[in-house]
Amino acid sequence: MNMLWVAPVMPDYDSARATFSWRRERSRLAGLPGGGVNIGYEAVDRHLRDGHGDRPALRCIARDGSLRTVSYARLAEDSSRVAHVLETLGVGRGERVFTLLGRRYELYATVLGTLRAGRVVCPLFTAFGPEPVALRMELGNARAVVTTRELYERKVAPVRSRLPHLRHVLLIDPGDDPPSDTLSFPALTAAASDTYTVGQTDPADLALLHFTSGTTGTPKGAMHVHEAVLAHHVTAAYALDLHEGDVFWCTADPGWVTGMSYGIIAPLTHGVTTVVDEGDFAPGRWYDILADQHVTVWYTAPTALRMLMRAAPRDGSLPAERHDLSSLRFVASVGEPLNPEAVHWGREALGLPVHDTWWQTETGAIMIANFAADPVRPGSMGRPMPGVEAAVLACGEDGRVAVVGGHVRVVGEPDVQGELALRAGWPSMFRGYLHEPQRYESCFADGWYLTGDLVSRDADGWFWFVGRADDVIKSAGHLIGPFEVESALMEHPAVAEAGVIGRPDPLAGAIVKAFVLLRPEYPPSAELRRDLIAFARRRLGPAVAPREVGFVDTLPHTRSGKVMRRLLRARELGLPEGDVSTLEAPEPAGTAGAPGPSGK
């Protein structure tokens, strides 16, 4: 029985793919005693059942540097308390519990307690401002939120009147004289029982809600179900090389899907120890964590790697010479293109190549990776995971997948660009966008899920990332919807219209740049520019707000009235303007070319 959760000895790629079937892989899950699957049970209860409750589940590093090790048994107790609190408060099965928390122990207890209780978890990013928080809580019908007093006062209290369905606010640090209409998480959990029996959970029951950004309209709420845990578990073995006894560190923020699938769920299902670092990025501290915690498997992002590369000491010494990184066995990256330089840097500086992995909020788990058992091909995302069928689909004139008579064309010849598509049906595939069945439908054609990424595939079957097919901006690993930023800017009295693009940036991949058309009574000035940036930061938070604002006399529109962001970007970067046949009436003379600043 205990052998089940030990990752298999890695066969080579081809035989792993040839013999793989999701149905057979199901035997790797514990499953609920009465049948059914529950993510929380796989992450926590199964280890107690197998007599491994005393193993270290989490090693939490607080901001003050203090360290706390939490066993699987303790995690079971504390998540049990949360499960009881939710039941006592009357949060129903299937209802949404939001977290607005950094990477700290209470987050783990809350997420696992909520999942074990069959309630739905929706994590939010703490760097969001009140607007993104309110919008997502409205869309997601938040019943309860667990957060800190500070985050509540800054980000939830100002918008709470818009959230009538938000019944319970649980503060993990209520302090003296807590804000009215809030509850004390420590008091409630302390009073609750520390044993909880996971109830019947269907593999297709909703478990997680992750908001992701699109080009238009509101953020998309990607819905994931309990059986996704099978993909979390299996991909962590194949693509991240997780084995029994590993110390795993995933640096992703818990507000995004990586922080959930691989920061919380996957490593716990493997019974390994996860490092939970509450602090912010700082090169010296990060190397200390790798060394002091004896991290064996490290999952991080290109932005972080680029920052580490920049932080190299002047004396030319390498991190592996200054810190004892001898425990480190495997390093992987996700979220943005991994430059070949970063792979080479890893070899030299850490003594290990960096393995790329590709996936999305919608895919729920890693789909394409430079496999653990294979030599890394620098610059390539790798090959599809066992159980994943990936293809390059031919695109039409408009750059979107060409569907003829209900059918798509899979590009057979190597090195041709097209849209990356995945054959629908893997366990962690999202099961819908909240409230938007049509938006969901439009992601599929002819049995394929269309990813919105442009790629090519080489003759050996490795996939290479080309770019996104849409206007969504990827900054420091996070998707930013231009529409959300434009909408916030337009609430400023000076703004008549705005168009938002990503401008390439050596560290963040891209930064958010807004082109703003001012109302006539507001002359452009450096002060107004600063004011607009501050206004956007207050509403949206620093992660989403534009870093640059340019004033323009006109914005290019399609005939249907949408801002042509593609054209704004082409002009900003001095690229060919491409197909402008849908451009509205020609713009007034003197505005062609780069959308340069008017006035200052």
Which among 136-144, 333-341, 435-443, 564-572 is the span making contact with ligand WT7, rule CB under 6 A? 333-341
For ligand WT7, the closer CB: 291 or 479: 479
Could you give the CA distance from residue 348 to residue 226 in angstroms, rounded to a whole number?
Answer: 40
Q: What is the closest distance, in whole angstroms, from the C-beta atom of residue 210 to ligand WT7 in the complex? A: 8
Q: CB under 6 A: which stretch of 19-27, 129-137, 347-355, 356-364 binds ligand WT7?
A: 356-364
Number of residues that bind ligand WT7 (CB under 6 A): 23
Choosing from 40, 337, 364, 418, the residue that interacts with ligand WT7 (CB under 6 A) is 337
Pick between residue 369 and residue 564 the one whose CB is nearest to ligand WT7.
Answer: 369
Burial bucket for residue 443 (CB in 10 Å: 0-12, 13-18, 19+): middle
- Decide if residue 335 touches ligand WT7 (CB under 6 A): yes
Give min distance, CB of 339 to ligand WT7, in A: 10
Unique residue bearing structure tokens 């004011």: 531
User: Which residues on neighbouring strands pair with residue 339, listed in sequence order?
Assistant: none
Amino acid found at 20: F
Binding positions for ligand WT7, 193-232, rule CB under 6 A = 212
Q: Give the separation between CA 302 and CA 508, rounded to whole angstroms.
A: 8
Using the rule CB under 6 A, is 474 a contact of ligand WT7? yes
Among 465, 483, 515, 551, binds ligand WT7 (CB under 6 A): 465
The site string for ligand WT7 over 370-409 (x = CB under 6 A, - otherwise) reads -----------x----------------------------
Q: How far apart are CA 343 and CA 352, in angstroms?
A: 8
Beta strand spans in 506-584 (E): 509-518, 548-552
Cα four-point dihedral sign 527, 533, 536, 541: negative
What residues contact 400, with CB distance under 8 A and at least 6 apart? 419, 469
Binding mask 249-278 for ligand WT7 (x = CB under 6 A): -------xxx--------------------
Rounded Cα distance between 515 and 385, Å, is 41
Selected from 147, 218, 360, 487, the binder of ligand WT7 by CB under 6 A is: 360
Min. distance of Cβ 57 from ligand WT7 in angstroms?
23
> Does the protein bind ligand WT7 through residue 471 (CB under 6 A)?
no
Residue 323: HSE in the Cβ half-sphere, 13 Å Cα cutoff: 23
Which region among 52-60, 133-141, 449-457, 522-530 touches ligand WT7 (by CB under 6 A)?
449-457
Cα 252 vs. chain centroid, distance in angstroms?
8
Shortest Å, Cβ 48 to ligand WT7: 30
**With CB under 6 A as the contact rule, which of the stretches 91-99, 115-123, 307-315, 334-342 interacts with ligand WT7?**
334-342
- Closer residue to ligand WT7 (CB): 102 or 271: 102
Cβ(443)–Cβ(450) under 8 Å?
A: yes
Give the residue nearest to ligand WT7 (CB): 361
To ligand WT7, the closest distance from the beta carbon of 266 in angstroms equals: 13
With CB under 6 A as the contact rule, which of the stretches 87-95, 121-129, 451-459, 557-565 interacts with ligand WT7?
451-459
Minimum separation from the CB atom of position 128 to ligand WT7 (A) = 14
Residue 235 in the binding site for ligand WT7 (CB under 6 A): no
| 334: contact with ligand WT7 by CB under 6 A | yes
Take residue 61 and report the two structure tokens written for it: 């590093």
Closer residue to ligand WT7, CB minimum distance, 381 or 564: 381
The DSSP code for 244 is: T
Task: Give the CA distances from residue 263 to residues 28, 268, 404, in Å, rounded to whole numbers and listed in that order.
Answer: 20, 9, 41
- For 90, the enclosing helix (H) or strand (E) is none
- Phi and psi at residue 419, to the nearest 5°: -90, 135
- Helices marked H in 443-515 — which ranges? 482-490
User: Which residue, 257 or 265, has its beta carbon nearer to ligand WT7?
Assistant: 257
Of 515, 520, 497, 522, the closest CA to residue 597 belongs to: 515
Cβ atoms of 110 and 82 within 8 Å: the answer is: yes
Stretch that binds ligand WT7, among 20-28, 52-60, 350-358, 583-591 (CB under 6 A): 350-358
d(CA 359, CA 143): 29
CB burial of residue 397 (10 Å; 0-12, 13-18, 19+): exposed
Nearest residue (CB) to ligand WT7, 258 versus 296 = 258
Q: 């980000």: which residue's tokens? A: 155
Q: What is the nearest approach in angstroms of ligand WT7 to the Cβ of residue 117? A: 26
Residue ranges binding ligand WT7 (CB under 6 A): 212, 256-258, 334-338, 356-361, 381, 451-453, 465, 468, 474, 479
